[in-house]
Amino acid sequence: MRRGIAALGAFAAVTALAACNGNTTPSTNSSAGSNDTLATLTIWADDTRFSQVESLAEGFTSSTGVAVNVVQKSEGDMDTEFTTQVPTGNGPDMIVMAHDKLGALVSNGVVAPVDLGTAKDQFSDVAVKAVTYNGQTYGVPYAVESVALVRNNALTKDTPTTYDDMLSSGKATGAEYPFIIQMSDKGDAYHLYAFQTSFGAPVFKTDDAGEYTSELAMGGSGGTDFANWLKAQGDAGVVSPSITGDIAKQKFLDGAAAYTVTGPWNVAAFREAGMDVSVLPVPAAGSQAAQPFVGVQMFYQSAKSANPVAAKKFFDYLAPPAAQEQMQKLGGRASAMPSVAEMSDDQDIKDFSKVAESGALAPAIPAMGAVWNFWSQTEANIVNGTETPTEGWATMITNINNAIASK
């Protein structure tokens, strides 16, 4: 894998501002460049990423002379505010957000396409897929994250490759919880998804280009097999709606669980508590590989950016390994460039990067909005016995299809 990363000099951000001027690309004449240098680039970031982006922006300003105003926004409604403000011309030039909003943002016409050029080959396949919608790339990825199997090394050093082996290993430790995973009474399809994929039941089908379609793929025998397996785990007391995220985290912190499935957000807390843990691939419960959802953090450019030249300069600055490594250290998430993650001295980052490379990209299509509630709640209902696996899963599929059709 190449370690040298070409600068994004080939980036061509197509903005609605340029379209208003009758052009299809940003103006590159000296007057436009001068005005853009004097302008202030505005970037929106949520509470978690605000300080990270501020630090990156300070280096960018020192390097280019372009001022940056990083505005802290609430994660819960940032995408809605962005979608509302961009058409009025009052939104930011750029926004930092997860890739799963991409489909809705493109559909609403509020983000500009970005040509990754030769730098495209330096990003992981899942990162490139994350910024691709209908064959067009949008934005610049910088981090990947997923859940993984986390092992308490004080209890066991086994590296199980199947779910059954993991349970056996966990039981042999004598821990209160051989394995613990969060669910709650609302369900948690996200954390359980890797096990579902091992039964050959991904959430959506994909087209010839590998992009998600709105046709569900988790019906049929694969979905039913997973539902029956899930019920069996509930009956055995391994999976329970009484286990919330906070409970699962605390039990693992207390040393009461040998294994858990969680992400880097909790592994950081385990490390801070002085625990010796390892990050491993999620073991398969079915006959196929277990693939957790992978989320990708990225910088989007507004379709109405008033400063497209400055935005391009920012993308150029973000491309080299130094900036990617800085974001990796600031955020504690594996870089979207595997070569940068491989060079990290943080073993957790390296291990999460490897898990993400073999994971399944979380869908960014608008249809995904119709899935989550039905999906998660049905899983909880199957475990607690209010719905049978076969009938409950079939009803869920019908409800989701109806919801997608109504959008």
Write the CATH number for 245: 3.40.190.10
Name the burial class of residue 373, with classes exposed (0-12), middle (13-18) and buried (19+) by CB atoms within 10 angstroms of its CB: middle
Q: Are residues 153 and 132 in the same domain?
A: no
Which residue ranges of the chain lie beneath pLDDT 50? 1-35
What is the rounded distance in angstroms from the CA atom of residue 218 to the CA atom of residue 203? 5
Amino acid residing at 188: D
| Token duo for residue 92 | 């930011």
SS3 helix, strand, coil % of the chain, rounded to 5?
45, 20, 35
Which DSSP letter does residue 4 get? Answer: -
Amino acid residing at 160: P
What is the rounded distance in angstroms from the CA atom of residue 300 to the CA atom of residue 43? 9
Give the model's pLDDT for residue 182.
Answer: 98
Asked if 303 and 14 count as a contact pair (C-beta separation under 8 A), the reply is no
pTM > 0.85: yes or no: yes
What is the rounded distance in angstroms from the CA atom of residue 263 to the CA atom of residue 243? 16
What is the rounded distance in angstroms from the CA atom of residue 112 to the CA atom of residue 332? 28
Give the model's pLDDT for residue 350.
Answer: 98
Q: Are residues 152 and 261 in the same domain?
A: yes
* Structural domain harbouring 220: 147-293+365-406
| 199 φ/ψ angles, rounded to the nearest 5 degrees | -100, 10
Asked if 175 and 257 count as a contact pair (C-beta separation under 8 A), the reply is yes
3-state secondary structure 251-272: HHHCCCEEEEEECHHHHHHHHH
pLDDT digits (tens, 9 = 90+) for 180-210: 999 999 999 999 999 999 999 999 999 999 9
| 343 φ/ψ angles, rounded to the nearest 5 degrees | -85, -5
Q: End-to-end alpha-carbon separation of the chain, Å?
A: 43
Place of tokens 């539902």: 227
Give the model's pLDDT for residue 11.
Answer: 36
Q: Are residues 140 and 159 in the same domain?
A: no
Amino acid residing at 45: A
Q: Are residues 394 and 258 in the same domain?
A: yes
Place of tokens 């040509």: 115
Give the model's pLDDT for residue 37.
Answer: 53
Q: Are residues 117 and 263 in the same domain?
A: no
Distance of CA 224 to CAs 89, 213, 287, 363, Å? 49, 21, 14, 21
Asked if 122 and 338 count as a contact pair (C-beta separation under 8 A), the reply is no
What residue spans of 86-159 are helical by DSSP H?
A: 102-107, 125-130
Give the model's pLDDT for residue 38.
Answer: 65
- 2 in any annotated domain: no
The count of domains in the chain is: 2
Three-state DSSP state, 146: strand
- 1 in any annotated domain: no
Q: Are residues 135 and 244 in the same domain?
A: no
Distance of CA 174 to CAs 178, 255, 355, Å? 7, 11, 28
- 100 in any annotated domain: yes
Q: Are residues 32 and 114 in the same domain?
A: yes
Q: Are residues 104 and 209 in the same domain?
A: no
